[in-house]
Structure formats: C-alpha cells, structure tokens
Structure 1
Amino acid sequence: MASMADENAGEGNVAADELRLLIERAERLEEEKKGISDDIKDVMAEAKSRGYDAKAIRKILAIRKKKKEEYQEEEAILETYMHALGML
C-alpha cells in the first residue's frame, strides 16, 4: 500500500510533466510567432520597396480587424474631437 507521501510525489511528477509539456508547447508557439513576425516585416519591406507607405498599410490592417460599426464610431469621435480642436 502506498503512503500519502508516495501518492503526493506521484501527483507532483504528473503535474511536473504536464507543466513541462505546456511550457514546451508555449515555446514552440513563441518560435512560430517570431517567424510570422519576421514574415510580416518582410512583406512591409517589400511594400516599402515598391513605393507603398508601410504606416498606411498597418493602419488599414488595424481597421480591417475591427467591425465596421466599431470603426465608424471611432472615426466619428475622432472627427468630433478634431473639430473641437480646430483641426478640421
């Protein structure tokens, strides 16, 4: 019959194995993320070399992530603020 200490040690090993697997999985994903980030940088460099404005492209990407209504609301607020500041 196993003692309570033996049972706890066994559970600790299972938890350690599970933790190690989760950490290794996260590390692989971080590597993939870095690779994707490098690919995006390459695309932006290519766009710039072809005469496109990388900042404008990044802004378009951010806008396209949002729902149309959310974007329109943000633009309306921005326009209101700019009018208040005499910028428009």
Structure 2
Amino acid sequence: MSDGNVAADQLRLLIERIERLEEEKKGVADDIKDVYAEAKATGFDTKTMRKVVSLRKMEKHARDEADALLETYRNALGLH
C-alpha cells in the first residue's frame, strides 16, 4: 500500500470517528434538553438552572471574581 493510500485510510478513519462522536454529542444534547423540559414541567426555572450549572463548572476564585464584577456593575447602574 502506498503512503497516499495509508494517509487516505487514516483520514477516513478520523472523519468517521468525528462523525460518530458528533452523533453521540447530539444524543447527549437531546438528553440534556429532555432533563430541562422535565425540570420545567415540575415548576423549576430552567434559565436559573442553566446559570447554576454554568457557575458550578467555574472554579471558586473565578466565580467570586464574576460575582464581584456583577455586583460592581449592578451598583454602578443602580440595580440594588
């Protein structure tokens, strides 16, 4: 087999892996959407839940900095 064929085969395999992962990602995204729909049906505010999920991903120092900056902006705009 020539180097061109090996490279083409490797490229095809990589593309196929990416396509499979994209399908898995879509499936997970659909599952997450279903959980938010369930939460909404139960009476939870999904916008707030999304914010909480986002905050939990952050390290504490980054979360503290974001909170301090938000508080500064709110005070500057009179949003007490």
Per the normalisation by structure 1, the TM-score is 0.87
Q: Percent identity?
A: 61
Tell me which residue corresponds to 1:27. 19
Q: 1:73 aligns with which of 41, 65, 71?
A: 65
Alpha-carbon RMSD across the aligned residues, in angstroms, is 1.0
2:4 aligned partner, one-letter code: G
- Tell me by how many angstroms 1:41 deviates: 0.5
2:28 is aligned with 1:36 = yes
- Tell me by how many angstroms 1:84 deviates: 1.0
Mapped partners of 1:52, 1:82: distance in 2? 25
- Tell me by how many angstroms 1:64 deviates: 0.3
Q: Match of 1:87, SS?
A: coil
Q: Which runs of 4+ in 1 moved over 4 A?
A: none
2:70 is aligned with 1:58 = no
Larger of the two Rg values belongs to structure:
1
Structure 2: which 5+ residue stretches go unaligned? none
Structure 1: which 5+ residue stretches go unaligned? 1-8
Equivalent pairs, count: 80
- Tell me by how many angstroms 1:49 deviates: 0.5
